Amino acid sequence: MKAIWKYLALAVIAIPCILLAPGVAVAEDYPAKPVRLLVGFSAGSATDIIARVVAASLSAKFGQPFVVENRPGANGLLAANAVAKSKADGYTLLVTNSSAMTVNPLLYKDAQYDTLKDFVAITPVVDGHFTLTINPANQRTASVVSFSDLIALAKSKPGKLSYGSGGAGNLAHLGIELLSAKSGVSAIHVPYRAASQAQTALLAGEIDFTFDTPSVIAQIKAGKLKALAVTSPKRWAELPEVPAVAEFIPGFDVSFWFGFFAPAGTPDDVVQKLNLEIVTATSNSAVREQLARQGGILTLSPGAFAAKINAEMAQNADVIRRANIRVE
């Protein structure tokens, strides 16, 4: 009888320990307060738009605000560093792009974060490609009506044309450096704080061309910017008349994604719950329509997303080494 009471007493003592164990039933009451979504790019950027579309769905689903906070600068470094140092409880998340996660740690000595060690991948939401654009009103590129024209002009004026990107070392920068290497041209790189600012600079005639995100389609259809090529392996359905760079340079493919991350150590059931609800949100027709303006819908399990990131980092490291890209 005493032995029975002894085991019952041990069981009673063990119950609180089980309830307090990390990751046990944490997601059952999650979220119990507002969740912050840090975005490392400016308001109106593709990353910001995607974050706000998904945040609205999550807020409606959970009955708690998912609040987007913009912390632009250093190609997403500021927001990523902040989230990496945040409490791993699911209440501070990062919404960012592949450039910030698969390029920054390879180039910036002061990145202060390791993508594979400091974050847990939740899911990508959108993937896409760049569109090579010029301003038809820019007198410096007035003779350009095609991809081949731009390459020919750049070759005739080495180091004279300029291009913009959303930050030194970001994926658009690497993409144009890769294009330059494969086509034998040279141009001046002008880094901005965000891709949206590079687009504004192109509209103002401050730069001559850029690799822009799919959000540029509105400017293209309005006739304010002209698309010369897309960086996907095949033509884009939204602009079927615009060729792929791969039609001129076989094998050329520069793509990107936008996704959600949490600090390393975030309980797995919280990560899985967020993954499920974000994936569910992308199945809503209205949400899909808004996200599709930024690219194709892409969702993965946390494990598959982590594997994708690992593979892309290895590829980008090789491109950076071959192109000898350096960022001070």
For the cut 90, the answer to whether the pLDDT of residue 9 exceeds it is no
Helix (H) or strand (E) holding 134: strand 131-134
CB atoms within 10 A of CB 21: 10
Among 39-48, 69-78, 112-121, the range with the most confident prediction by mean pLDDT is 112-121
Same domain, 306 and 266: yes
* Distance between CA atoms of residues 146 and 40, nearest Å: 33
By residue range, what is the domain housing residue 288? 33-127+256-323
Give yes or no for a contact between 32 and 64, defined as CB atoms under 8 angstroms apart: yes
Residue 306's identity, in one-letter code, is A
Kindly report, residue by residue over 275-296, the tens digit of the pLDDT. 999 999 999 999 999 998 888 8
Same domain, 181 and 236: yes
Helix, strand, or coil (residue 29): helix
Residue 107's identity, in one-letter code, is L
Same domain, 107 and 142: no
Confidence band of 15 (pLDDT split at 50, 70, 90): very low
What pLDDT is stored for residue 95 in this prediction? 98
Comparison of pLDDT for 33 and 233, the residue scoring more: 33
Same domain, 116 and 173: no
164 in a structural domain = yes
Structure tokens at 124: 């990508």
27 in a structural domain = no
- Please give the average per-residue pLDDT across 57-82, as a whole number: 94
80 in a structural domain = yes
Task: Specify the range with the lowest mean pLDDT, choosing from 19-33, 138-152, 230-244.
Answer: 19-33
275 in a structural domain = yes
Give yes or no for a contact between 224 and 176, defined as CB atoms under 8 angstroms apart: no
pTM value is 0.73
- Domain end (from 247, 276, 295): 247
Cβ-proximal residues to 136 (8 Å cutoff; 6+ apart), any chain: 142, 223, 225, 226
Same domain, 238 and 145: yes
Query: What is the overall mean pLDDT for the chain?
Result: 89
CB atoms within 10 A of CB 249: 16
Same domain, 213 and 119: no
Give yes or no for a contact between 127 and 292, defined as CB atoms under 8 angstroms apart: no
* Distance between CA atoms of residues 17 and 76, nearest Å: 40
For the cut 90, the answer to whether the pLDDT of residue 86 exceeds it is yes
Task: Specify the range with the lowest mean pLDDT, choosing from 86-90, 157-161, 262-266, 291-295.
Answer: 291-295
Under DSSP, the state recorded for 154 is H
What pLDDT is stored for residue 11 in this prediction? 43
- Please give the average per-residue pLDDT across 178-182, as a whole number: 90
Residue 328's identity, in one-letter code, is E
* Distance between CA atoms of residues 297 and 274, nearest Å: 17
CATH number of the structural domain spanning residue 194 = 3.40.190.10
For the cut 80, the answer to whether the pLDDT of residue 10 exceeds it is no
Kindly report, residue by residue over 257-272, the tens digit of the pLDDT. 999 999 999 999 999 9
- Please give the average per-residue pLDDT across 166-184, as a whole number: 87
Helix (H) or strand (E) holding 3: helix 2-20
Task: Specify the range with the lowest mean pLDDT, choosing from 47-51, 123-127, 257-261, 323-327.
Answer: 323-327
CATH number of the structural domain spanning residue 100 = 3.40.190.150
What pLDDT is stored for residue 328 in this prediction? 62
Which residues lie across from 131 on neighbouring strands?
212, 230
What pLDDT is stored for residue 4 in this prediction? 43
301 in a structural domain = yes
Give yes or no for a contact between 282 and 125, defined as CB atoms under 8 angstroms apart: yes
Residue 164's identity, in one-letter code, is G
Beta strands 209-212; 131-134: pairing state? antiparallel
Burial of 1 (0-12, 13-18, 19+ CB in 10 A): exposed
Give yes or no for a contact between 143 and 153, defined as CB atoms under 8 angstroms apart: yes
Same domain, 274 and 222: no
* Distance between CA atoms of residues 88 and 173, nearest Å: 32
Helix (H) or strand (E) holding 245: none
Give the angle subtended at the CA of 87 by the CAs of 81 and 92, to the nearest 5°.
Answer: 70
Same domain, 137 and 123: no
Beta strands 209-212; 162-165: pairing state? parallel
Q: What DSSP string runs through 112-133?
A: ---HHHHEEEEEEEEEEE-EEE
Confidence band of 70 (pLDDT split at 50, 70, 90): very high
What pLDDT is stored for residue 147 in this prediction? 98
66 in a structural domain = yes
Same domain, 274 and 188: no
- Please give the average per-residue pLDDT across 180-199, as a whole number: 90
- Please give the average per-residue pLDDT across 83-93, as a whole number: 97
For the cut 90, the answer to whether the pLDDT of residue 144 exceeds it is yes
What pLDDT is stored for residue 26 in this prediction? 63
- Please give the average per-residue pLDDT across 124-146, as a whole number: 96
Angle between helices 147-156 and 171-183 (to 10 degrees): 70
For the cut 50, the answer to whether the pLDDT of residue 96 exceeds it is yes
Beta strands 92-97; 162-165: pairing state? unpaired
Same domain, 146 and 185: yes
For the cut 90, the answer to whether the pLDDT of residue 298 exceeds it is yes
Same domain, 235 and 94: no
* Distance between CA atoms of residues 25 and 270, nearest Å: 9
Structure tokens at 29: 């009451």
Same domain, 135 and 242: yes
187 in a structural domain = yes
For the cut 70, the answer to whether the pLDDT of residue 23 exceeds it is no
- Domain end (from 223, 247, 271): 247
How many independent structural domains does the chain possess? 2
- Domain end (from 247, 264, 290): 247
24 in a structural domain = no
